[in-house]
Structure 1
Amino acid sequence: MQTHDVQIDGDLVRKRFIDGKPGGAEREWRALQLLAEHAPGLAPSPVEYGTDLVVMSRIEGTPLFLLPAVPERELVEAVDRLHGAVPRQVLDRVPQRLWPVERIRDQLLVWAGRWRPKNELADQAVAEGARWLSGWEPGERGVRPVFGASDGNRANFLWDGVRVRIVDFEESGRSDRATEVAEMAEHVSCWVRGESELCFELDSAEERRLLECRRLFALMWVFLLKDEGPRNPPGTFMRAVRRALDRLG
């Protein structure tokens, strides 16, 4: 499902939001402005903002999802720069990411309640996941506020041969370090063609929160992939099920 229409006009990119969900263009524009001021060069430069429209500079690069090998060090450097870019006094005024973990937890419980039996392993993952979600309170433990893109899709990270830059901020906002790292680690684009574990610097409380958030996002992909389509290789859904059971175990 497309959430936006992108047109390239020379050195400019015109991104029009077509999914009818409010706030996407505003979040994208806010992110581009913040990063242009606090981390220039990491993302496209903001050019023009209108109703459901963001115009930005075009940046060159190949999406990491298409590369045979991910430049892991440069990817970590780009994400570290993103997370540390916005000063705390500015970050405190930035709205939360579109899907904070509490909202994801509540949505997954709704989906679990509507689950129709599929196969033994998938049903087990949903049942065990629902039990864990029902007792999980994220709280403030392990929270280090950061500005997050809140989308771990490796198609949004571009490699130009020297550095990694980032695009697509329609779900961005104030987040925390462990949540953002977990979302990247469990995004289907990060494991569907072979797995690699990125090494981010986290303190002990963040490491514990990371494990919990990885459970959350692994479960999320079980629901998102249950109606397996042509976008991913055959068997992707069952790989997601096994990942979720591993995280829960």
Structure 2
Amino acid sequence: MTTRFHTHHIDIRENTVVKRYIDWSRGEPYREWAALKVLDFHVPDLAPHPIHADLDATPPAITMSRLPGRVLRGEPTTSAQIEATAHALDRLHRIPTRAVTELDPASWGPEAAVAKVRRLIHARPDPGSDPLARQAHQEGTTWMATTDPDHLLDNPYPPVLGLADGNHANFLWDGQRGCVRLIDWEDSGRNDRAFELGELTEHISRTDGTLDPEALLAQIDLTPREAMRVRGFRRLVALCWLLQLGPTGAATPHNPPGTARRVAERLLNLFG
């Protein structure tokens, strides 16, 4: 299963966690500290409580509270966990716009994703010999040549504070309290809500578990226009992963055989 190159070391203590950053080229510690402070003020208990920051140290470090629970990755997801995830996202996305606009844009958002997919397509990656993967690759390439991806960049809705990382390991299930909390805010910032939902539902970590995106989205209040934008971003995110899963793709060594086919099936369903 895919893993990101780690940008930090984690020191887990009895009641606290100390996060020391290896790479902070995108302002990771500053992003995380800013997000944790906003979260602690507006939606306490949704994320770790910020305790102390050494942002100018080498390496930078943040001390935060340790949260109980286990990550929602690598196992079947229950209806209670899906409901709790939807509730957590609703709380997150209700943070006042005035607080969100003071944050920097997230490091991963619509513009970055569209640009990355176009770069990948321009590089003409080998989709491999699987007919389904080749079909999904072709349909995705055709879709990217339309104006649809550009329309996704026009967001008529207020921004939200987003994780900018849909890895399901960032969602922590507390079975005792029946709630989900969110961790790892180093890529966070001001972002598009529809993109955040597309990134969560189509992140490649979904292949390492059974989180039902339709069940999750059904519990989130979306206007018809927002739902269409979410579907567009789901296509974009799934295509981005597919383009990295060919025989020589960057994501291929980190994922088990058959991952490209599973992503292709999902992408074709999104185009259906």
Q: Please give the TM-score of this superposition, normalised by the length of structure 2.
A: 0.83
Identical amino acids, percent of aligned pairs:
37
| Residue 142 of structure 1: how far off its partner (Å) | 5.0
Please name the residue that 2:94 is paired with: 84
Q: What does 1:56-205 align with in structure 2 at a 5 Å threshold?
A: 56-70=64-78, 71-85=81-95, 87-117=96-126, 118-119=128-129, 120-134=131-145, 135=147, 136-137=149-150, 138-141=152-155, 143-161=157-175, 162=177, 163-197=179-213, 198=216, 199=218, 200-205=220-225
Q: Secondary structure at the match of 2:265?
A: helix
Q: Structure 2: any 5+ residue segments left out of the alignment?
A: none
Counterpart among 22, 25, 31 of residue 27 in structure 1: 31
* 1:110-148 superposed Cα distances (whole Å, 9 cap, x missing partner): 111113332244344334323322332124355342111
Aligned equivalents of 2:194, 2:205: Cα separation in 1: 19
Q: How far did residue 45 of structure 1 move?
A: 0.8
Residue 49 of structure 1: SS of its match in structure 2?
Answer: strand
Name the Cα RMSD after superposition: 2.0
* Separation in structure 2 between the aligned mates of residue 230 and residue 107 of structure 1, nearest angstrom: 20
1:59-111 superposed Cα distances (whole Å, 9 cap, x missing partner): 111111144333111111011111112x1122122111111212211111111
Query: Which letter does structure 2 place at the counterpart of 1:95?
Result: D
Structure 1 residues 8-58: Cα deviation after superposition (integer angstroms, max 9, x where no partner)? 122111112213533111111111010011111111011122243221111
Query: CA shift at 1:209, angstroms?
Result: 0.7
What secondary structure sits across from 2:191 in the alignment? strand
Q: Which ranges of 4 or more aligned residues in structure 1 deviate by more than 6 Å?
A: none
Change (3 A) 1:75 1:10: same
Asked if the contact 1:112–1:126 (Cα under 8 Å) also holds between the matched residues in 2, the reply is no
Report if the CA contact (8 A) 1:192-1:236 is conserved.
no
Q: Assess if the C-alpha contact under 8 Å between 1:63 and 1:155 holds in 2.
A: yes
Distance 1:47 1:176, change over 3 A: same
Residues 113, 230 of structure 1: alpha-carbon distance in 2 compared, 3 angstrom cutoff: closer
Give how far 1:244 is off: 2.0
Question: Residues of 2 paired with 1:89 and 1:237: CA distance?
Answer: 41
- Which fold has the larger relative contact order, with Cα–Cα distance below 8 Å and residues 6 or more apart in sequence? 2
State the partner residue of 2:269.
Answer: 246
TM-score norm. by structure 1 comes to 0.90
Q: Would the aligned equivalents of 1:142 and 1:178 in 2 still touch at CA under 8 Å?
A: no
Q: What amino acid sits opposite 2:260 in the alignment?
A: F
Deviations 1:206-232 (CA, angstroms, capped at 9, x unpaired): 011111111111111113434455654
Name the CA shift for 1:20/1:145 in 2 (closer, same or farther; >3 Å).
closer
Contact 1:192 1:232 in 2 (8 A): no
Q: Which residue of the partner structure matches residue 259 of structure 2?
A: 236
Aligned to 1:14, which of 15, 18, 22?
18
